[in-house]
Structure 1
Amino acid sequence: MSCPDCFNGAVHEGTPTGTVTKLHNIDIYVAEPSSGNPPQAIIGESAADLDWGGTVLIPDIFGWTFVNLQLMADSFAKKKDYRVYVPDFMKGNAAPVSMLESLRKVLVPKTWYDTFSKPYHILWLLATAFPAIYFNRPGKTFPTVKSFMESLRQNEAAHLPVGVTGYCWGGKHTILLAEGFTVDSKPLMDAGFTAHPSFLDLFGDIEKMTVPVSFAIGDKDNQVSPTQGKQLEKIILDKPDGQKGEYRVYAGYGHGFACRGDVLNDDPKGAVEAEEQALAWFEKHFEGVKY
């Protein structure tokens, strides 16, 4: 399923506080706990004498340098003392953030000039959107994601649980990881969270999942209709214990609400609640997990 609405939303204000480095040959943004405490992945147990603790955040089509995703990683790190990784799985082929303003002018013109300039913005969007989607098609990028997660599990996360969050484009990869891939008899991820995933094969991707995933989807999302959402929810709730997911509907919200906002509803409440949903899900599934 393609994603014509993947580019909706807005750029948030703020200055990320993490660092940029390389890990397993991937450029990566790292958010550390601002409290100065050691990162925690196992609830109630400090990771001071362990290797790593936290989550991997797989971004939307705007990639790892998008300020919204880096600010979100900072928030995760601050609230739960997690270390959060935002890798460049797109290898420099992310869509330009400047597309957001053009999308708004096309979809929600506010002035006569916005209306008059629509043809220009439509042509520019087509010229920039298609390359980003082509170079970042899941069949091409998932091997990079999987390889990174294997290296992470064998090294930094050898003894700790791993959580993965995915937004839009990243949601597809989170769901693919949930098929139950392992390395050294350990799962590549212990729990996943996705908000408004795109590029899904409904419902084949969902049926293959064996790792619990929490979904946050607006009832106006063009990628998953309310009818499809009910079937998706039934599939993940009917899975056996240890694989069962959760599905939450956000009334009044469309695609992109959890990381950018969307043209249908700019109220940030949905994004805040989706973040709380993700953190609660990881807290529940990290507890007591050791390797």
Structure 2
Amino acid sequence: MSDDCCKSGFKWDGKPVGREGTLEKNKAYITGTNKDAAILIVHDIFGWTFNNLRLLADHFAREANATVYLVDFFDGEVLSQDLISDAFEKGDQEKMKQLDLPAFVGRHSKAIRGPEIFACATTLKSQYKKVGAIGYCYGGWGCFQLGGKGKNLVDCIAVAHPSQCVESEVDALAVPTLIMAPETDQQLTPELKAYCNKVIPTLGIPYQYDYYPGLVHGFAAKGDPNNPAQKDGLVRAKNSAVVWFNEFLH
């Protein structure tokens, strides 16, 4: 995950209506009451306490009629939103040193956090008839892996501006897949976008690729609702995920 991929940020207003609990050994924000359909959200660098993602979880619970789990996959570590903003958006080099993104990513690598993501999905699959997963930035690779051949853990996945994804994870996809891709993204590069659009249609799975012109990495979770173009992207991405989950979870 490059430094540039987390620059876009905005704190939404609103109060989440769910509750805090656990899934497996991980803390989780849980919202919704459906006993048949569940959605696992794999968060971005802002973590499970990020208000924007909790508000999105509430949207999915209401509009996709599911019980939604936004799980802590950073082992209790929560980065300050102000620290991230100062480091990336204001270019504060001292704050960038404090953030130490390479060390942070190392503590939460695929090898370390992947087993937790799979354990949570396994538990949900044992408790619900249908399970979907959606990942933002950091969470994208986790959803790609959950949707891989032979895993049988989720019924569909959606990813918005995913990071750390590799071609082999694309090759292995075996469940309905939605990709929400901004025009400018240092992680979902033009080459990786082209690879997805070349390979996934050959895999025999439902596939939808949504393109967001003029928007950048982070738009679906951190866009500014006071900016008309960014607000349009936020609403479109939320609605697209809702339609996707309604189609494949019910």
Q: TM-score, normalised to structure 2's length?
A: 0.91
Given residue 276 of structure 1, which amino acid in structure 2 is its aligned partner? N
Matched, 1:166 2:132: no
C-alpha distance in 2 between matches for 1:225 and 1:164: 22
Matched, 1:141 2:141: no
Unpaired stretches in structure 1, ≥5 consecutive residues = 33-37, 40-50, 107-120
1:78 corresponds to which of 62, 69, 74: 62
The Cα RMSD (Å) is 1.8
C-alpha distance in 1 between matches for 2:183 and 2:169: 20
Residue correspondences, number? 244
Q: Secondary structure at the match of 1:163?
A: strand
1:1-291 equivalences in 2 (<5 Å) = 2-8=1-7, 9-32=9-32, 39=34, 51-102=35-86, 103-106=88-91, 121-128=92-99, 129-154=101-126, 156-157=127-128, 160-182=129-151, 187-201=152-166, 203-240=167-204, 243-261=205-223, 267-287=230-250
**Contact between 2:135 and 2:159, CA under 8 Å: does it hold in 1?**
yes
C-alpha distance in 1 between matches for 2:160 and 2:97: 25
**Contact between 2:5 and 2:186, CA under 8 Å: does it hold in 1?**
no
C-alpha distance in 2 between matches for 1:91 and 1:6: 22
Alignment CA distance shift 1:130-1:230 (3 Å): closer
Q: Deviations over 1:65-93 (max 9, x none)?
A: 11111011011112232211101121113
Aligned identity (percent) is 27
More helix, by proportion: 2
Given residue 3 of structure 1, which amino acid in structure 2 is its aligned partner? S
Given residue 188 of structure 1, which amino acid in structure 2 is its aligned partner? L
Q: TM-score, normalised to structure 1's length?
A: 0.78
Alignment CA distance shift 1:93-1:224 (3 Å): same
C-alpha distance in 1 between matches for 2:113 and 2:59: 27
Given residue 245 of structure 1, which amino acid in structure 2 is its aligned partner? Y
C-alpha distance in 2 between matches for 1:19 and 1:208: 35
Given residue 73 of structure 1, which amino acid in structure 2 is its aligned partner? A
C-alpha distance in 1 between matches for 2:178 and 2:203: 13
C-alpha distance in 2 between matches for 1:181 and 1:56: 19
Q: CA shift at 1:181, angstroms? A: 4.4
**Contact between 2:64 and 2:243, CA under 8 Å: does it hold in 1?**
no
Unpaired stretches in structure 2, ≥5 consecutive residues = none
Alignment CA distance shift 1:212-1:126 (3 Å): farther
More strand, by proportion: 2
**Contact between 2:27 and 2:71, CA under 8 Å: does it hold in 1?**
yes
Q: CA shift at 1:227, angstroms? A: 4.1
